[in-house]
């Protein structure tokens, strides 16, 4: 099975712009979670989508949004970019059985640099 894929792998944007990141989960996985990883804050949970619905949400401003399509692919959008949004954005997929023991499989991440 192919793993979790994320596109693009690298992105450079300027302040005020918006960006859309994409995540394709492992085939058969219906849950997609997004995380932001920075040297200062570490790994922080953004949100989780299951069956096209947001199931959980972390403590991030409304500039961060996401969606999931019927094929379970997910996109994450950040509007009005700030310098502090520079980070590695990780996507993780799982079956979505709502079982907390479920293993999440991570993608390679998208590295976003905001200038």
Partner 1 sequence: AQTVTQSQPEMSVQEAETVTLSCTYDTSESDYYLFWYKQPPSRQMILVIRQEAYKQQNATENRFSVNFQKAAKSFSLKISDSQLGDAAMYFCAYRSANDMRFGAGTRLTVKP
Nearer to partner 1, 35 or 49 (CB): 35
Question: Which residue lies nearer to partner 1 by CB, 92 or 114?
Answer: 92
Cα dihedral across residues 20, 24, 91, 8: positive or negative: negative
| Distance in Å, CB of 80 to partner 1, minimum | 26
How far apart CA 114 and CA 63 sit, in angstroms, is 15
Bridge partners of residue 11, in order along the sequence = 112
CB of 17 to partner 1, least distance (A): 24
- Which residues here bind partner 1, judged by CB under 8 A? 3, 33, 35, 42-45, 48, 56, 88, 90, 92, 98, 100-101, 103-104, 106-109
**Cα separation, 75 vs 23, whole angstroms:** 6
Nearer to partner 1, 96 or 107 (CB): 107
Give the shortest CB-55-to-partner 1 separation in angstroms.
9
When the beta carbons of 45 and 60 are compared against partner 1, the nearer one is 45
Whether the CB-CB separation of 43 and 110 falls below 8 Å is answered with no
In degrees, to the nearest 5, what angle opens at C-alpha 43 toward C-alphas 16 and 50? Answer: 85
């Amino acid at each position: 099975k192919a793993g979790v894929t994320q596109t693009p792998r690298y992105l450079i944007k300027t302040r005020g712009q918006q960006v859309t990141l994409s995540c394709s989960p492992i085939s058969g996985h219906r849950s997609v979670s997004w995380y932001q990883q920075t040297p200062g804050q570490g790994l922080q949970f953004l949100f989780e989508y299951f069956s096209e619905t947001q199931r959980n949400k972390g403590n991030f401003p409304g500039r961060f949004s996401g969606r999931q399509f019927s094929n379970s692919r997910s996109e994450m959008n950040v509007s009005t970019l700030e310098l502090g949004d520079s980070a590695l954005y990780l996507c993780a997929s799982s079956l979505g059985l709502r079982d907390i023991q479920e293993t999440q499989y991570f993608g390679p991440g998208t590295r976003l640099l905001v200038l």
